[in-house]
Amino acid sequence: MAISQTIGSPISGYEDRMTRIAVLADIHGNLPAFEAVLNDLAGVAVDEIILAGDLVGRGPQGSAVVRRARELGLQSVRGNHEDYLLSFRRREVPVEWLEAEEWSCSRWMAAELDQNDIEFIDSFPFTTSPSTAPTVKIFHGSPSSYNEGLGPWTEEATVRKYLVESHGEVLVCGHTHRPAQWDFEEGLAVNVGSVGLPFNADTRAQYAILSQQQSGWSVEPRFVSYDRELVFAAYESSGFLEHGGATAVLLQHEVATARPFLVPFLKWAEITQRLPVMASLEPFLAYFDPSLSMADQYKRLDKLRAEL
């Protein structure tokens, strides 16, 4: 159900715009980042706020984020982390995932959701459009899969194809945790980045406002500072750090640096034939250089694989 809402009053320069849509993706159980973005939106009137999935997973406050979204009547598309935690709740995962240390964080995050949260996230569709802007097509990853992230590495022809196939003027997505934009004659494609867990070395909460004017659509990426100490406090007080194993520690590093730690850890563990558990954390952190790009991380990991 799409709920149209206006938060705040128009600020100077916005009055002539026809429609404004805020799209927020990848909140990942980070309530302080979500609240900071909602506060930011209080100063900029928008017609609708739409969530682009991954409200939950990879963070300690999935239930609180889902509850807040539900209270505000926000709609979301389905992210891979909604489905991932639903699978854990339903025990539709390999049996060892229900017991082994390396999945302790996922089990904790799935257990933290209450029945209302579960029903709400299970209602998310694969794609949606704002009721006030049906030519805006929103997906979590891409029109092909919620696991496919669109970024600078994506072939231009692929983005153009998705624009044509989605029959819209604007294609909006998240999932990569890195904002990006493409402006083609077929339309505008936007990756809005991540509210709760950005990977572009900018620790601020990130989202985008799309504005429709006479000349067409434009995108305003937004970057919102917030108190990350509140997140780290939630990591402690919720039991997430205590019960989430190596994953929770690595996610805390991700919030602190806005760089990916978890996926490189899993790759490194596979290459070095270690279990991705707490005992492997120290040697991984001694090896890992978070300042490298993901492409360079993979090159370095390939070199390590060749050496072993």
List of residues contacting Fe ion (CB under 5 A): 26, 54, 79-80, 175
**Pick 56 or 133: Cβ nearer Fe ion:** 56
Burial 241-258 (b: 16+ CB within 10 A, else e): beebbbbbbbbbbbbeeb
How many C-beta atoms lie closer than 10 Å to residue 212's C-beta? 20
DSSP string, 197-237: ---SS--SEEEEEEEEETTEEEEEEEEE---HHHHHHHHHH
3-state secondary structure of 173: strand
3-state secondary structure of 113: coil
**Pick 137 or 178: Cβ nearer Fe ion:** 178
**Pick 20 or 222: Cβ nearer Fe ion:** 222
**Pick 34 or 217: Cβ nearer Fe ion:** 34
132 exposure class (CB count in 10 Å sphere: 0-12, 13-18, 19+): middle
In the bound state, the residue with its beta carbon closest to Fe ion is: 54
Q: By C-alpha distance, which of 206, 209, 202 is closest to 194?
A: 206
**Pick 22 or 197: Cβ nearer Fe ion:** 197
CB of 152 to Fe ion, least distance (A): 17
CB of 80 to Fe ion, least distance (A): 4
CB of 24 to Fe ion, least distance (A): 12
**Pick 7 or 258: Cβ nearer Fe ion:** 258
CB of 54 to Fe ion, least distance (A): 4
CB of 30 to Fe ion, least distance (A): 11
Alpha carbon of residue 136 to chain centroid:
19
CB of 61 to Fe ion, least distance (A): 15
SS3 per-residue string spanning 243-306: HCHHHHHHHHHHHHHCCCCHHHHHHHHHHHCCCCCHHHHHHHHHHCCCCCCHHHHHHHHHHHHH
CB of 14 to Fe ion, least distance (A): 29
Spatial distance between the Cα atoms of 45 and 54, rounded to a whole number of angstroms: 24
**Pick 79 or 193: Cβ nearer Fe ion:** 79
Percent of the chain that is helix, strand, coil (3-state, to 5): 40, 15, 45
What is the helix (H) or strand (E) element at residue 40, kind and residue range? helix 31-41
**Pick 74 or 133: Cβ nearer Fe ion:** 74
CB of 197 to Fe ion, least distance (A): 7
